[in-house]
Amino acid sequence: MLCLQSKGLNSGVTSPNGLDWSEDFRLAMTTQKGLLIYTLVPDPGVLQMHLNLKMHLVPNDSLANPYIHQLGIDKQDLLRQLQPCEQHRVASLYYRFPVSENGKPPHRGTEIAKWTPKHAISFNDLALITLSEDCWLKVWCQVSPNSWTPQVDVSKLWHSYLVQHKWKPITQKNPSSTTSTLERGLRDLKSRLMAVCTSTFAWSPVIAFEGQYCSVLVTAQRSGHVVFWLSTAKDQSGPHKLEIISVLHSGLAEISFLGWFKIEEHKFFLFLGSVDGRVKVMTLDWKVKSKPTLTESGLVWDCSDRARVSFVQVIDHSIQGSTHSLRLILAKDSYLSGLDLKVNETRVKIHGQKSIPTGPSRIVNFVHLPSGIKLIFNEIGAPQHINLNRNLQSLSLSKYTMDLSHNHYKCNGAQLSPGGGILAVLQSINTYYDHLLIRTPGRISFLNRENWPVILERLLTNPDFELQPDSAEVLRLGMLGDEDLNIGQLRDKVHASKGHLKGKFWLLNFLANLAENHDLHDQLNLDVNRTATAILKLHATDLKQSDLNSNAQHFLQICSEEPNMSSDFDWLCRFCDSKVKSESWDQVTCQNDHSWPRCILSLGVADSEDLLMCPACDCVALPNVVELVEIENVVKVHDLIVGREHKIARNHSANVLKPILFSDQQDADFDPLLLFISGPY
């Protein structure tokens, strides 16, 4: 792997695994100053040799977690009953949660930050769920390009649930009758504190039920309790609601890992790993909305060896009747374990096991490359390649070459981008008394998995290959760095290829910007406009074919650009109240020759009061790209299609939700990225 770019961070990285990619190519990192978010924007107009990343910082919360001090027990009363030499029994419970001193709150950074799956919270955008160092769990939503706000306080909901049920869900059922009142008070204080403190969390994949998107958030408390929350995506503004559907004790110590694995359409395995080394698997069967069935299948690792579980990864899966055959990779401190087992809803049977040491430091991450290569990253040292064939006893490790220095650095996370094109590695300084510790206490590095000629060849030869933002950036940087790049030959290859239309559009756009002083500049611009026209026509046809309340064949005739196509749909001109005289794929003309553009999303008539917006979904109108008019006076095609703000509008005729990317600032100069329109072309 070659390093594309390394960026120094002006704040330290304390989280052992503080890195996570979102489905829309945003990277969240936990730093001492706050949550750092990088957005990858594959801009064909940028001609500089670095990744086009937009940065935003979400500062740390200045407030402390209030719920760890609201336990319904008077701590001062317990302290008065204890001897001075025993008062540490109360103070030791709160050593991780210091109170404010001299009016300055202590540092409360983010320990874990993960992106929610698509449609887990809302139709509009993804959300961030964060866990602070004082165990405050929140769900954050983006309200503007540079502003995030807490949407759901999960810790508050959990605390309110315990208070409402008088702490019965976590109370010991059979306390000893000989225990003194003081001992019971100390025991209750500890159990309640551990119950309100969240140790980790995981969000399940999303399931569609009759047009609604549902998912399950599972949170693990330090007491060993596991809480299951039901989430339903919203298509409107307002506070989101999480509903508790189950609370149970895992039978484990403090849980350090939670991971979902989908085995069937409505069935999942949930793996739970604890700090004492044990691993359990549960089955969630979800065939009826709001009524998932939870079953404890059994222990995958039943030995309490005190080796903290970092992750559980399924690398092979097969089904035989009601039994699932799994091959797992477990990371426990600095040891890597492989397991072959068979699991059903009530039983776990292990058929093979092997464990090997990986080095002097603990394992941080597991990365599975699309090429089949499996890597593990330790805190100290270079990544290692997992060698494993059908025989589990062949499990071994070998060094993996990577264009990245690991001397004096500690790894704090490594993750592959959703498209599989870029590997992000987060590191922090791991040496004492070094000037780098003050200048750049951390760094984030981006490495490419494939060379750009491989991506280009796949784009031009495979019509099913969709150009993802990460691959587009690798391709852009590769062509910029190639001094022997022949624009004319590459243009001819694009014309002769049968590749993905939206990928070709992005490539032609980049070549047009690259050839600004080239003889082919005007021809490339003409190619860009023609390709944009073709994509919009296909997009329009796809929308109308999916509209169950319209005549798809009639609209296909409209897209053929035959003149004076008549229509009998019920619409009256806003100017003269006359009926339709003719219509085409991009506009409608009334009997008095008043022309109206179509909505870019629903392709209905955009005749609202501002004359450019659809009255049904508030989306902008289509530009006249067929005539190739000067685009200084109209909104560019790509300005309508792309932007970093997402909105889901409703197709008013078919009541079908369709995603579209648009810009709040319609006069902003965005570059064309039509490859992000949904559609198989």
Phi/psi at 210 (5° precision): 50, 50
Mean pLDDT for 22-39 is 92
DSSP helix/strand/coil, 502: helix
DSSP states of 491-502: HHHHHH----HH
What beta strand segments (E) does 508-644 contain? 580-583, 587-590, 595-597
The 10s digit of each residue's pLDDT in 293-302 is 889 989 999 9
626 or 545, which is more confident? 545
Mean pLDDT for 8-33 is 88
Residue 598 lies in a domain: yes
Tally of structural domains, the chain: 1
Calculate the average pLDDT of the chain. Answer: 79
Residue 566's pLDDT band (boundaries 50, 70, 90)?
very low
Q: Are 606 and 599 in contact (CB under 8 A)?
A: yes
Residue 601 lies in a domain: yes
The pLDDT value recorded for residue 248 is 93
Q: Are 599 and 619 in contact (CB under 8 A)?
A: yes
pLDDT at residue 567 tops 60: no
Residue 238 lies in a domain: no
Judged by phi (left if over 0) then psi (alpha if -120 to 50, else beta), residue 648 lies in: beta
The pLDDT value recorded for residue 175 is 60
Q: Are 362 and 333 in contact (CB under 8 A)?
A: yes
What percent of the chain clears pLDDT 90, i.e. is strictly above it? 33
The pLDDT value recorded for residue 147 is 87
Residue 591 lies in a domain: yes
Query: By C-alpha distance, which of 580, 583, 504, 579 is closest to 540?
Result: 583
pLDDT at residue 42 tops 70: yes
* DSSP 8-state class, residue 586: S
638 or 199, which is more confident? 199
Q: Which residues pair with 34 in a beta bridge?
A: 59
The 10s digit of each residue's pLDDT in 508-534 is 999 999 888 778 888 998 988 888 888
pLDDT at residue 428 tops 60: yes
Least confident among 3-17, 194-208, 307-321, 473-487: 3-17
Residue 599 lies in a domain: yes
From the CB of residue 106, how many other CB atoms can be counted at a distance below 10 Å? 12
CA dihedral (447, 452, 457, 463) positive or negative: positive
Residue 565 lies in a domain: yes
Q: Are 374 and 367 in contact (CB under 8 A)?
A: yes
| CA–CA dist 375, 48 (Å, integer) | 31
The 10s digit of each residue's pLDDT in 96-152 is 665 555 545 556 788 999 999 988 887 767 899 999 988 999 999 888 888 898 989
Q: Are 42 and 136 in contact (CB under 8 A)?
A: no
Mean pLDDT for 604-617 is 67
pTM of the model: 0.78
The 10s digit of each residue's pLDDT in 528-539 is 888 888 877 777
Q: Are 203 and 120 in contact (CB under 8 A)?
A: yes
Residue 155 lies in a domain: no
Mean pLDDT for 378-387 is 93
DSSP helix/strand/coil, 118: coil
Residue 353 lies in a domain: no
The 10s digit of each residue's pLDDT in 641-661 is 333 233 323 232 222 223 332
What percent of the chain clears pLDDT 70, i.e. is strictly above it? 78
Residue 631's pLDDT band (boundaries 50, 70, 90)?
very low
Q: Which domain holds residue 588?
A: 520-676
